Amino acid sequence: MSDKPNISAQQVKELRDRTGAGFSACRDALTEAKGDLQQAIDVLRKKGQAAAAKKAQRSTSEGLVSCYIHAGGKIGVLIEVNCESDFVARTDDFQKLCHDIAMHIAALDPRFLRREEVTQEILDREREIYKDQAKQTGKPEAVVEKIVTGKMEKFYEENCLYEQHFIKDEGVTIKELVDQAIAKIGENITVSRFSRFKVGELESGKDAAADTAVAVPSV
């Protein structure tokens, strides 16, 4: 008898609902994970990361400028997401990705696109604050450094779009969401820039470094 697990259509549907991956990819992931949903999600995430790594150097000269308006017109987001072809830019999957990321930005208000775009000045300032806080606990220097390192990772997670956990599925980051789309669509995809607008929020109320990081002034 075969050791291959019997994967039901309901299991595949549940995995598709959770990840947005295609039918065949979900069925194969569930088979590899022997029917375990969480392990199947991990399989898809790893495959998405691998596919993204292979395509990372490919040019993304097409794409869309998308928008999302929330809270009765009080918050709005403009975002540019790029892909390799105009054909993909017109697909429902790509447009849904653009919409979901714009909605996420409206909700979580990231200051930067990627961790690499946080300025050294801001990093030094945050690290100094965290170090002073940690020292007040009276713990040894080695422990203090570990605490600071952990807090810096948390800073990236809270402030950088690619590091943030997706508002509709906190089990994946925005980077992983993009990787999943790359694996499904078959083209390299990148978020180029974004801007979040909120009624009554003046430009002076934003960190100037955030404007530089996303390449579009926030208001």
CATH number of the structural domain spanning residue 20: 1.10.8.10
pLDDT for the residue 2: 52
Domain end position, chosen among 55, 74, 90? 55
pLDDT for the residue 16: 80
CATH number of the structural domain spanning residue 218: 3.30.479.20
Please indicate, yes or no, whether residues 41 and 83 belong to a single structural domain of this protein: no
Calpha distance 117→178 (Å, rounded): 18
pLDDT for the residue 213: 36
Tell how many helices (H) and how many strands (E) occur in the chain.
9, 3
Please indicate, yes or no, whether residues 164 and 216 belong to a single structural domain of this protein: yes
Calpha distance 43→48 (Å, rounded): 9
At a CB cut-off of 8 Å and minimum separation 6, what does 52 contact? 178, 179, 182, 183, 188
Alpha carbon separation from 19 to 91, 157, 161, 177 (Å, rounded): 18, 21, 19, 9
Q: Which domain holds residue 10?
A: 1-55
Whole-structure pTM value: 0.72
Its sign, for the CA torsion 188, 192, 198, 201, is positive
Please indicate, yes or no, whether residues 71 and 126 belong to a single structural domain of this protein: no
State which residues of the chain have pLDDT below 50: 1, 204-219
Percentage of residues in the chain having pLDDT higher than 70? 88
Calpha distance 120→199 (Å, rounded): 30
Please indicate, yes or no, whether residues 103 and 31 belong to a single structural domain of this protein: no
Please indicate, yes or no, whether residues 105 and 137 belong to a single structural domain of this protein: no
Residue 48 backbone phi and psi in degrees, to 5: -65, -40
What is the total count of domains within the chain? 3
Please indicate, yes or no, whether residues 110 and 200 belong to a single structural domain of this protein: yes
At a CB cut-off of 8 Å and minimum separation 6, what does 141 contact? none
